[in-house]
Amino acid sequence: MLRDKVNLAEKFSAFQDYRHPRIVGEVNDCHIKVVKLQGEFVWHQHEHEDELFLVVQGELVMRLRDREVTIRPGEFFVVPRGVEHCPVAGQETHIVLIEPKSTRNTGALVHDYTVEAPEWI
């Protein structure tokens, strides 16, 4: 299905809440999502899905069990399936996610932060 081009800044300006991903595109079996994060998310993992985090504003610290990775604007990091991770942002951070359509934001964990069916914007 042919969709319009997407301007990321416009999409980020369309919502203000944290930790709630929205879908802005699809490519093959993946969704492109946008999410704002401030503070600490929760430790979780995705059994079957790799998850790409591209930072466009702010700074994202990806805590892993044996290290942490700081991702700045213009940088991306891929968390492979099965790897426990906890995203943390000390300031408001804007993130583009690329992950299979089946991906739940909290992975195998059911939590207050779980968003079962993100909407398209």
Answer yes or no: are the C-beta atoms of 33 and 23 closer than 8 Å. Answer: yes
Q: Is 121 in the site for a second copy (CB under 8 A)?
A: no
Q: Is 68 in the site for a second copy (CB under 8 A)?
A: no
On the 0-12 / 13-18 / 19+ scale of CB atoms within 10 A, 43 is: middle
Applying CB under 8 A, which of residues 23, 42, 61, 69 lies at the interface with a second copy? 69
Is the CB of 26 or the CB of 40 nearer to a second copy?
26
Q: Is 99 in the site for a second copy (CB under 8 A)?
A: yes
Distance CA 89, CA 69 (A): 12
Give the range of 15-23, 35-43, 98-106, 107-115 binding a second copy by CB under 8 A: 98-106
Residues contacting a second copy: total by CB under 8 A:
36
* Residue 12: strand, helix, or coil: helix
Distance CA 33, CA 26 (A): 9
Applying CB under 8 A, which of residues 42, 83, 115, 121 lies at the interface with a second copy? 83
Answer yes or no: are the C-beta atoms of 49 and 100 closer than 8 Å. Answer: yes
**Subset of 8-47 contacting a second copy (CB under 8 A):** 8-9, 25-30, 32
A 10 A CB-CB count for 82 gives: 12
Residues that bind a second copy (CB under 8 A): 1-9, 25-30, 32, 49-52, 56, 64, 69, 71-72, 74-80, 83, 98-100
